[in-house]
Amino acid sequence: MSGSKQSVREAFRAAVFKRDGYRCRKCLKKARMDKDGRFHMIEGQAGLLDAHHITDRNLMPAGGYVVENGISLCPSCHELAERFHSTGTSAPDYAPSDLYRLIQSSELKARAADEATKAIYHPRTGVRLT
């Protein structure tokens, strides 16, 4: 992955985690940062906090790396949310509309924000164009 695409991904993760208070938005379990800058789950769950793309990033014109399309999820909740991307059928309460509701966004808002970034970053490489 190119350095510029990596920086876009890191900025996305940082913005999503900050907005969500460094906790899973579904089960509300907290995470804390280690010395390497990764957010480990606390409160009895192993693994890392993840910034999940609610609408698959491959379906977004500029890659979906916008806070309106991201939600912080623990490993267990992330697995349930990913079910929709892999099968087309969501786990109960994990449909994209359910996840957007938790962050007060929508697919329409996410697509508009993503479209706005298309003028700034190349959609697949993440290279800044302006």
| Domain ranges, ordered by start, for the chain | 3-118
With vertex at residue 41, the alpha carbon angle to CA 38 and CA 45, rounded to the nearest 5 degrees, is 145
pLDDT higher than 90, residue 129:
no
With vertex at residue 33, the alpha carbon angle to CA 55 and CA 127, rounded to the nearest 5 degrees, is 45
Tell me the percentage of the chain whose pLDDT exceeds 90.
Answer: 75
Average the pLDDT over 111-130 and give the result. 70
The whole-angstrom separation of Cα 19 and Cα 13 is 10
Q: What is the pLDDT of residues 20-77, one digit of tens each?
A: 999 999 999 999 999 988 999 987 778 999 999 999 999 998 899 999 999 999 999 9
Cβ–Cβ < 8 Å for 31, 23: yes
Structure tokens at 108: 């329409």
